[in-house]
Amino acid sequence: MNIHGKFICIYGIDGSGKSTLAQNISTYLSNFNEVKTFYSQEDAIFTPELEAVAKKLNTSRRECFSPILRGGSWGLDLLHKSMYHIEPALGSGKTVITDRYSICNLVYPYINNVDIGILRRINNLLIKPDLNVYLEVPHEIAWQRLKERGKKLTPKETPEKLQEAIKLYDYFFKIESISVERLDATLSTNQVTDMAIELIKSRFLDG
């Protein structure tokens, strides 16, 4: 399946299976294409700098910096990634997959009561995806998976915040007029991967 130069974004709440799906479709598409997969905060420069300052002060980024500054640093990191990593990769014919993209940088700051005006402007500067995939999963299932995953939980990884994030993804896809393909992410990883591959085929190869 040759889909050179196409840009696919995967969205969903924490525990929905974004990074798992990104990895699986990347493995599949690598049989036919040169694929570059960007995971959230990979190649980031601004947020790690806040992290470094917080560390010097013997505290954490969340305690040290306000939500507006943390949200802004995520926005700038995404713009940096889009300009200096994603665009060149697409330009050289690679297929690009990202775990999270523009809408995430509205959903999470919004949860923290941040004014998202500047973040929406930053999002307008990002290169547009060819396909947006949203992994639909009830918050109870995502929460169960996060507990079983065994990684340290972040403040937004609670049943209440997951539930809020589901509503906000719907809201922001709508108000930003982003068309998104929804997959039932309660199914097994293999089934979700197969559905995503079928979606990619139907979007880029048929007709």
Ligand X SMILES: Cc1cn([C@H]2C[C@H](O)[C@@H](COP(=O)(O)OP(=O)(O)O)O2)c(=O)[nH]c1=O
Ligand Y SMILES: Nc1ncnc2c1ncn2[C@@H]1O[C@H](COP(=O)(O)OP(=O)(O)O)[C@@H](O)[C@H]1O
Which residues in this chain contact ligand Y in the complex, by CB under 6 A? 12, 14-20, 99, 145, 149, 185, 187-189, 192
Closest approach, Cβ 144 to ligand Y, in A, equals: 9
How far is 25 from 197, CA to CA, in rounded Å? 7
Identify which of residues 153 and 205 has a Cβ nearer to ligand Y in the complex: 153
13 marked as binding residue: yes
8 marked as binding residue: no
91 marked as binding residue: no
Residue 190: name the closest of 14, 24, 26, 30 by CA: 24
The stretch near ligand X (CB under 6 A) out of 68-76, 85-93, 141-149, 179-187 is 68-76
Site for ligand X in 13-52 (CB under 6 A): none
62 binds ligand X (CB under 6 A): yes
Binding residue (CB under 6 A) for ligand X from 18, 81, 94, 100: 100
How far is 161 from 156, CA to CA, in rounded Å? 6
How far is 80 from 64, CA to CA, in rounded Å? 23
11 neighbors 129 (Cβ within 8 angstroms): no
Closest approach, Cβ 108 to ligand X, in A, equals: 4
109 binds ligand X (CB under 6 A): yes
How far is 60 from 90, CA to CA, in rounded Å? 35
How far is 35 from 29, CA to CA, in rounded Å? 7
70 binds ligand X (CB under 6 A): yes
71 binds ligand X (CB under 6 A): yes
Vertex 4, ends 205 and 44: CA angle to 5°?
Answer: 125
Identify which of residues 6 and 61 has a Cβ nearer to ligand X in the complex: 61
Site for ligand X in 150-169 (CB under 6 A): 154-156
What are residue 127's DSSP bridge partners?
none
